[in-house]
Amino acid sequence: MAEQPIQRGRLRPAPEHFLNEADVQAVEAGRRGFLRKALVTASAAMAATTVARAEDGDPAILTLPPWTTSLGQPVAARPYGLPSQYEKGLQRRESPGLTRMSQVSVAFTPLQGLFGIVTPSGLHFERHHQGWSDIDPSKHRLMINASDDGFIRAPRVYTVDDILRLPPVSRMHFIECGANTGMEWGNVAVPTVQYTHGMLSCSEFTGVPLRTLLDDCGVNWKKARYVLAEGADGSSMTRTIPIELVESGEVLVAYGQNGEMLRPENGYPLRLVVPGVQGVSWVKWLRRIEVGDQPWATKDEAIHYVDLLPGGQHRQYTSIQECKSVITTPSGGQMLLDKGFYNISGLAWSGRGKITRVDVSTDGGVNWRSARIDGPVHGKCLTRFNIDWVWDGRPAILQSRAVDDTGYVQPRYGQLRAVRGTKSIYHNNAIQSWKVAETGEVSNVQVL
């Protein structure tokens, strides 16, 4: 169904905010010119309306609206709050081409419409290998066992209540799917930041360090080298996780997300939080942890999230999400309505620690300026950057380049491909480029 577009600042939204069925077919058929034309027409109409209002005297200031002259809605009219009806175009969306081609199930976060670093729980991206279920917590269990004698003293089965009784910790972290930005390896140039980078979200997670549970089961920290995490869904998602990450106390068995229980799509009632590591290891609907001394090489580890390198070799178990950033506004599919001042805003993150700097270029990487980092900066967490820009109406190429506290600098496509080749799908952290045309239209381009 067609949705009302959201206008913020002097930017028109990306067309995917309000895709209808005909638009979806146009995207699938690669006829994006159709959408651009529609957007230009809509923008022209909007600009004309604004001018007419200014000449007549703005009724929005001259006339008292009904919400000032009548009673509002009663308290608790909505016992569980919802966004304004005027924001309903901002949604998680499936990429029609991607989902229909490969039968994978992904709904992307609309990064272009968000502020700060927290992803609202209802807009957290979703990636399921076998769909999601709303599991009754009273029937859910977490078992901790070992692949052999001697790894743990006392295997245990926990109820969700058992876990809720233990001392909790809360931490802000990003989660990024290893396949995020995957289409760009093949230079497919999907149209919007929602589809290039939207398998990325950030929340405050609350739970119990997995270390606490392993201690409770009497783990032999000297002998244990890895744990295997298993989900309760039909895919029986299983991933090997190095014991150092668990022993450091960073890995959580989480039940809370942004102050409430996890949403069913994101693993209710229990999920693993593995900060800095690719999303697939954040096993949802967590039902079992096994302790052992070597990787399990399960199906999920052998067929997915493996990088094919030049020369036919492949990388497996490369799980840390390297330092990366993206400008979320202005970004692909949006339209600058006129020349003048814009705030360029974006997100940066690193699976190795904190973001220390983000540089922004408006000329395709020739000149760089350091962006402002105004918000909180946590380790392994999204970091918001902003920078002023006065658009002179000429073509421009917008880029951001992040640096983390290990000194690692986000690479250009040319640098990444020199090491990794061109056959990968996963773990693309290259610099993203958005081209601004003279018309104000913003589109996805690749700069080597």
| Contacting residues toward ligand MTE, per CB under 6 A | 124-129, 175, 177, 231, 233, 235, 237, 265-267, 279-280, 282-285
**Nearer of residues 11 and 274 to ligand MTE, judged by Cβ:** 274
Distances (CA, A) of 292 to 20, 113, 138, 157, 339: 50, 44, 29, 18, 61
CB of 122 to ligand MTE, least distance (A): 12
First-to-last C-alpha distance (Å) of the chain? 38
Q: Taking CA 382 as the corner, what is the angle to CA 377 and CA 388, rounded to the nearest 5 degrees?
A: 80
**Nearer of residues 191 and 279 to ligand MTE, judged by Cβ:** 279
**Nearer of residues 106 and 291 to ligand MTE, judged by Cβ:** 106
In 149-285, beta strands by DSSP E: 156-159, 169-176, 200-209, 226-231, 238-242, 252-257, 260-261, 271-273
Which residue is closest to ligand MTE by CB? 231
CB of 285 to ligand MTE, least distance (A): 5
What is the DSSP pairing of strand 200-209 with strand 252-257? antiparallel
What is the DSSP pairing of strand 286-292 with strand 141-146? parallel
Calpha distance 323→341 (Å, rounded): 29
CA-closest candidate to residue 277, choices 260, 298, 301, 294: 301
CB of 239 to ligand MTE, least distance (A): 8
CA-closest candidate to residue 184, choices 198, 163, 204: 198
**Nearer of residues 127 and 171 to ligand MTE, judged by Cβ:** 127
CB of 282 to ligand MTE, least distance (A): 5
CB of 198 to ligand MTE, least distance (A): 10
**Nearer of residues 174 and 434 to ligand MTE, judged by Cβ:** 174
CB of 130 to ligand MTE, least distance (A): 6
Distances (CA, A) of 395 to 8, 35, 189, 205, 364: 22, 20, 18, 42, 10
CB of 221 to ligand MTE, least distance (A): 26
CB of 131 to ligand MTE, least distance (A): 8
Contact 397, 312 (CB under 8 A): no
**Nearer of residues 99 and 220 to ligand MTE, judged by Cβ:** 99
**Nearer of residues 360 and 381 to ligand MTE, judged by Cβ:** 381
**Nearer of residues 133 and 145 to ligand MTE, judged by Cβ:** 133
CB of 371 to ligand MTE, least distance (A): 27
DSSP states along 92-119: -B--HHHHHHH--EEEB--GGG--SSPP
In 74-199, beta strands by DSSP E: 105-107, 126-128, 141-146, 156-159, 169-176
Calpha distance 242→227 (Å, rounded): 6
**Nearer of residues 265 and 404 to ligand MTE, judged by Cβ:** 265
CB of 158 to ligand MTE, least distance (A): 17
**Nearer of residues 110 and 267 to ligand MTE, judged by Cβ:** 267
DSSP states along 248-273: TT--EEEEEETTEEPPGGGTTT-EEE
Calpha distance 267→261 (Å, rounded): 10
